């Protein structure tokens, strides 16, 4: 099931807003519990902070990989063989400025 471009943009914007909200909420929660009374090994707050940091690091790496993959795909794509303005209905030698030697 493919979405229309306008609906696809709305879904993408909602997903991006959710991701940004969750990242900001995670940072605020980490800032709130950073000054806790640590009990040492096995402290649930310290484990939550370490898990959040590793999650954010993995998100950064995934985003960086996706950026480089998109850039590589853009660089190696093949150019189209047909001219951009060539519509089958209006394509003629005069429009394409082709010289016919007969």
Domain of 30 in residue numbering reads as: 7-76
Radius of gyration from C-alpha coordinates of the chain:
26
Mean pLDDT (10-residue bins), the chain, 102 residues = 72 87 80 77 82 80 85 73 55 67 67
Domain count, the chain: 1
For residue 70, tell me if it sits in a domain.
yes
pTM: 0.40
For residue 87, tell me if it sits in a domain.
no
For residue 50, tell me if it sits in a domain.
yes
Tokens encoding 24: 């900001």
For residue 89, tell me if it sits in a domain.
no
By residue count, the chain amounts to: 102
For residue 92, tell me if it sits in a domain.
no
């Amino acid at each position: 099931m493919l979405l229309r471009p306008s609906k696809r943009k709305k879904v993408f914007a909602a997903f991006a807003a959710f991701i940004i909200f969750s990242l900001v909420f995670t940072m605020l929660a980490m800032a709130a519990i950073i000054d806790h009374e640590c009990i040492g090994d096995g402290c649930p707050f310290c484990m939550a902070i370490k898990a959040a940091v590793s999650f954010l690091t993995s998100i950064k790496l995934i985003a960086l990989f996706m950026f480089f993959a998109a850039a590589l795909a853009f660089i190696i794509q093949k150019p189209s063989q047909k001219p951009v303005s060539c519509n089958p209905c209006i394509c003629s030698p005069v429009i394409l400025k082709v010289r016919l030697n007969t």
